[in-house]
Copies of this chain bind each other. A is one copy, B any other.
Amino acid sequence: MTLPAAFVDALVAALGAAHVVDDPAALEAASVDGLDRDGHPPDLVVRPGSTAEVACVMAACDRWRVPVVPRGRGTGYSGGAVPVRGGVVLSLERLDRILEIDEANLLAVVEPNVITGDLQAAVERVGLFYPPDPASLDRCAIGGNVAECAGGPRAFKYGTTGRYVLGLEAVLPTGEVVSAGGRTVKNVVGYDLTQLLVGSEGTLAVVTKVVLRLLPRPPVTATLRVAFASVDAAVAAVLEIVRARVIPSVVEFVDRLSLDAVERHLGIGALVPADAGAMLLIEADGLAAEVEEQVARIAEACGRTGALEVLRAASDAEREQLWRARRELSPALRALAPLKINHDVVVPKARIPDLVTLVAELQRESGLPIPCFGHAGDGNIHVNVMVDPADAEALARARTAERRLLEGVVALGGAITGEHGIGLTKVPFIGLGLSADELALMRRIKRAFDPHGILNPGKIFPDED
């Protein structure tokens, strides 16, 4: 689109010419996300340096009706930060400071572009703990985590990002700056705008500051790697652990296809015995005595469901190796085929066996590899349909498998996305998860925030016609 000159002038006046960027490399870089998805390059990238400057950008976009896409570190998996209608990408890269770590009140105040792993390290240095741990924690930002309500392995015990967001400062599409929540865990003044903005995928407002709840750092963590002959046995162990009334901090599941891929990708030896069909990566944390009790119950539960071996990491280095393998799963799979159709479905955990059966069926029917891994404790499994998009016939089979997967998940009482959001990629499927009445209500909420539809258009909602 051609941007009105007066609009560009207003941006330059507010931000300075250095922060209103139109060189092609910057535009191109701002049009992809964690899956290198193609978007429509924006016409401009702007880099406000303060909340007031964000407000100026929003007011200008609203006045001239220019689409604007907020963008943090671009690591998302559903296209939330990818522009599809040109316009402006509002990069939050300059808002990247940890403003405060308040030990007495157990909270941190951060700007949106702080890297999640950096915040974790900073609070751990003073004996505190920020639990949410998306696999991309070394490169993703808190702002994006808030926008998508990011999860991660520790969500089983500790919950997802939303549970840690006490308050927000945000700029509405019409330019007003609002605060939501605050510095207290309890706050019931009016509607809970905080949790409404969490997971709203950058479609309701631009978050400029986040107040995060912290916990005391658990002094001890035990890490177990448990091998099973089959996926079914691994899943049975998860249910048995819950029956033993233990909530491990982590229960990650990896199937054989994913194990092979990550072993090749990292050039490491076998993570588990060659006859293992699946692995669980389990952690328990807390005070020492508590951890030992949990580990004992977990090992017993795994034994009862036929674990081939239960190994406990003896050192931080061993623990780190296991985690590195887990975190590199997603990139590792790309070697299997050029296109990874990536879903993060979620089912009630007792239905994971049904989900596993479904994926096996889809693999047979489609003839395509569909490696699975993920957060078994939450019933949240990353299912990846691997395909070469140059093979049109294979791609059609992949798309059929994708739709059948999502329909199956809903039939099992689950949801089509547990962590990544609808963004762009799941828009065609939103009708599987929401009724027409629910979608209409959400559209009305969207209009209550964004009357002219300028903020992150094309996301979550199908086009109306």
Binding site for B on A (CB under 8 A): 102-107, 127, 148-149, 151, 155-156, 159-160, 162-163, 172, 176-180, 182-193, 195-196, 198-200, 204, 215-217, 239, 242-243, 245-247, 286-287, 289-290, 293-294, 346-350, 375, 378-380, 413-422, 430, 433-435, 437-439, 441-442, 444-445, 447-449, 460
Taking a contact as CB atoms closer than 8 A, the residue among B102, B179, B347, B439 that contacts A435 in the complex is B179
Residues of the B chain whose Cβ atoms lie less than 8 Å from the Cβ of A188: 148-149, 199, 415, 417-422
Chain B residues contacting A437 (CB-CB under 8 Å) are: 172, 176-178
Given contacts A184-B418, A192-B196, 4 further A-B contacts (CB under 8 A): A105-B379, A178-B438, A186-B379, A193-B442
Q: Looking at the assembled complex, report how far the CB atom of A373 sits from the nearest CB atom of chain B, in whole angstroms.
A: 15
Chain B residues whose C-beta falls within 8 Å of the C-beta of A200 in the assembled complex:
191-192
Question: Which residue of B is nearest A429, CB measured?
Answer: B189
Separation of A449 and B444 alpha carbons in the complex (Å): 8
A193 and B415 contact, CB distance less than 8 A: no
**Chain B residues closer than 8 Å to A107, beta-carbon distance:** 348
Whether the Cβ atoms of B186 and A415 lie closer than 8 Å is yes
User: Does B247 lie within 8 Å of A149, measured CB to CB?
Assistant: no
CA–CA, A138 to B271, complex, Å? 53
Q: Smallest distance from the beta carbon of A439 to chain B beta carbons, Å?
A: 7
Tell me the bound Cα distance from A185 to B378 in angstroms.
7
Return 27 A-B CB contacts under 8 Å, by A number: A149-B188, A155-B186, A156-B185, A182-B414, A183-B414, A184-B346, A184-B378, A185-B378, A186-B346, A187-B415, A187-B418, A188-B415, A188-B422, A189-B430, A190-B434, A190-B438, A190-B439, A191-B204, A191-B445, A192-B199, A193-B438, A195-B195, A216-B247, A287-B289, A444-B449, A445-B445, A447-B448
Q: Are B179 and A159 in contact (CB under 8 A)?
A: no
Please give the distance in Å from A383's CB to the nearest CB on chain B.
Answer: 14
One of B149, B349, B417 near A104 (C-beta < 8 A): B349
- Asked whether A448 lies within 8 Å of B441 as measured between CB atoms, the reply is yes
Contact yes or no, A242 B104, CB < 8 A:
yes
For A156, A192, A239, A378, the residue with the greatest tally of chain B CB atoms inside 10 Å of its CB is A192
B442:A190 contact, CB within 8 angstroms: yes
Question: Bound state CA distance, A12 and B239, in angstroms?
Answer: 48
B243 lies within 8 A of A350 (CB):
no
Residues of B near A190 (CB, < 8 A) are: 422, 430, 433-434, 438-439, 442, 460
Listed residue (A149, A294, A419, A437) with the most chain B CB atoms within 10 angstroms of its CB:
A437
Query: Within 8 Å CB of A185, what residues of B?
Result: 155-156, 159-160, 378
Residue of A159, A245, A434 with most partner-chain B CB within 10 A:
A245
Contacting pair B414 A189 (CB below 8 A): no
For the complex of A and B, 9 pairs with smallest distance between CB atoms: A289-B289, A186-B418, A195-B195, A444-B448, A216-B245, A104-B350, A189-B433, A290-B290, A176-B437
The reply to whether A182 and B413 contact each other, CB–CB distance below 8 Å, is yes
Cα A191 to Cα B434 with chains together (Å)? 11
A184 touches which one: B159, B186, B289, B414 (CB < 8 A)? B414
Task: Please give me the residue from chain B that is nearest to A440 by CB atom.
Answer: B176
Residues B105 and A349 in contact, CB atoms below 8 Å apart: yes
Q: Shortest distance in angstroms between A80's beta carbon and chain B's nearest beta carbon?
A: 10
Contact of A183 among B216, B413, B422 (CB under 8 A): B413
How far is the CB of A99 from the nearest CB of chain B, in Å? 14
A441 touches B172 (CB 8 A): yes
User: Which B residues are in CB contact (< 8 Å) with A179?
Assistant: 435, 438
A347 CA / B105 CA spacing, docked (Å):
10
User: A103 contacts B182, CB within 8 Å?
Assistant: no
Report how far A155 CA is from B213 CA in the complex, Å.
Answer: 14
Q: Does the CB pair B186–A192 fall under 8 Å? A: no
Contacts of A196 in B (CB 8 A): 191-192, 195-196, 445
**Docked pose: A243 CA to B216 CA in angstroms:** 9
Rounded to whole angstroms, the CA-CA distance of A239 and B445 in the bound complex is 40
A434 to B445, CA, bound (A): 19
Contact A186 B441 (CB under 8 A): no
Do A245 and B127 touch across chains, with their CB atoms under 8 A apart?
yes
Minimum CB distance partner of A438 in chain B: B178
